[in-house]
């Protein structure tokens, strides 16, 4: 049934763009739907210019440190364990930060997208000054993007980006932040676990802390801290265990309704 074998990536010692449609199609890092990169505990930086994307969401997953990002002339001081989503067509730029930055950057979908350079705002110095004290001066409009504090329980252990019951609606991907500090918390989770596959979507499992083990094509695969597992469409898989404390991110793209085919319920341990 599987189109191709799963791929397990070790991102622990890497920085820069790691998955991209710009790579050779035979390269295991070729990825037309999800571009993913990492800043691996580096000093804060400033983007070369303000820009927007014609088709892609740009997503900043900040694990540690503080990032200063301006979106549509709104200063956002991202704190550790937060997510920023910028909609296509809206100007944005990283303009600084504090501490060592551990962050994952994503663009979805990456194919058929253009990066368009915009003028630097005249009030750039004022924006930087405001970054020193404020997290978000005013909420982003949904048409512009979302700033999501992943420390809050309501943003954990379910789809926060996507459709249906997701808190923040987008038709470009599904994304969940998973946080189980111990087994007791995991056993409270009511999410149904079943062996399944997706007809059109690829599913990605990123481990930030701890370890998760999945059954993929009848093979148990351990995804440790700093590892990313890619499960292609039509590939039977399911999560079967965690090692605690566990934190991770699950992504599904493209976002296709009724794409999940259940094969059988499976025991969690």
pLDDT of residue 266: 59
Fold classification of 7-265 (topology level) = Jelly Rolls (2.60.120)
- Where do the structural domains in the chain lie, given as residue ranges? 7-265
Confidence (pLDDT) at 202: 96
pLDDT at residue 188, rounded to an integer = 85
pLDDT of amino acid 267: 55
Kindly report, residue by residue over 97-108, the tens digit of the pLDDT: 999 999 999 999
pLDDT < 50 regions, the chain? 1-3, 269
Identify which of 17, 1, 19 has the alpha carbon closest to the alpha carbon of residue 230. 19
Size of the chain, expressed as the number of residues it contains: 269
pTM recorded for the entire structure: 0.94
- Candidates 87, 94, 6; CA nearest to 43 is 94
Instruction: Assign 3-class secondary structure to the chain.
Output: CCCCCCEEEECCCCCEEEEECCCCCCCCCECCCCEEEEEEEECCCECCCEEEECCCEEEEEEEEEEEEEEECCEEEEECCCEEEEECCCCCEEEEEEEEEEEEEEEEECCCCCCEEEECCCCCHHHHHHHHCCCCECCCCCCCCEEEEECCCHHHCCCEEEECCCCCEECCCCEEEEEEECCHHHHHCCCCCCEEEEECCCEEEEEEEEEEEEEEECCEEEEEECCEEEEECCCCCEEEEEEEEEEEEEEEEECCCCCCEEEEEECCCC
What pLDDT is attached to residue 1? 40
**Could you tell me if 161 and 173 are in contact, meaning their C-beta atoms sit under 8 angstroms apart?**
yes
């Amino acid at each position: 049934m599987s189109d191709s074998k799963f791929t397990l990536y070790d991102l622990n010692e890497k920085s820069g763009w790691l998955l991209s449609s710009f790579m050779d199609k035979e390269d295991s890092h070729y990825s037309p739907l999800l571009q993913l990169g990492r800043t691996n505990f580096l000093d804060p930086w400033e983007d070369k210019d303000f820009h927007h994307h014609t088709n892609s969401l740009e997503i900043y997953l900040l694990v540690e440190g503080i990032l200063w990002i301006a979106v549509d002339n709104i200063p956002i001081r991202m704190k550790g364990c937060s997510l920023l989503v910028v909609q296509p067509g809206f100007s944005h730029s990283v303009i600084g930060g504090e501490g060592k930055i551990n962050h994952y950057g994503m663009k979805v979908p990456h194919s058929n997208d253009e990066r368009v350079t915009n003028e630097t705002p005249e009030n750039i110095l004022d924006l930087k000054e405001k970054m020193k004290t404020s997290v978000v001066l005013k909420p982003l409009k949904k048409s512009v993007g979302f700033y999501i504090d992943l420390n809050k329980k309501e943003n954990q252990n379910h789809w926060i980006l996507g459709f249906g019951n997701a808190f923040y609606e987008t038709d470009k991907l599904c994304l969940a932040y998973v946080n189980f500090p111990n087994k007791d918390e995991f056993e409270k989770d009511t999410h149904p676990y079943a062996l399944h596959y997706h007809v059109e979507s690829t599913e990605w499992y990123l481990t930030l802390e701890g370890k998760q083990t999945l059954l993929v094509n009848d093979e148990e695969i351990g995804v440790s801290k700093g590892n990313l597992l890619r499960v292609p469409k039509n590939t039977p898989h399911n999560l079967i265990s965690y090692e605690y404390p566990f934190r991770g991110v699950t992504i599904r793209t493209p976002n296709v309704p009724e794409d999940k085919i259940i094969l059988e319920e499976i025991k969690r341990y």
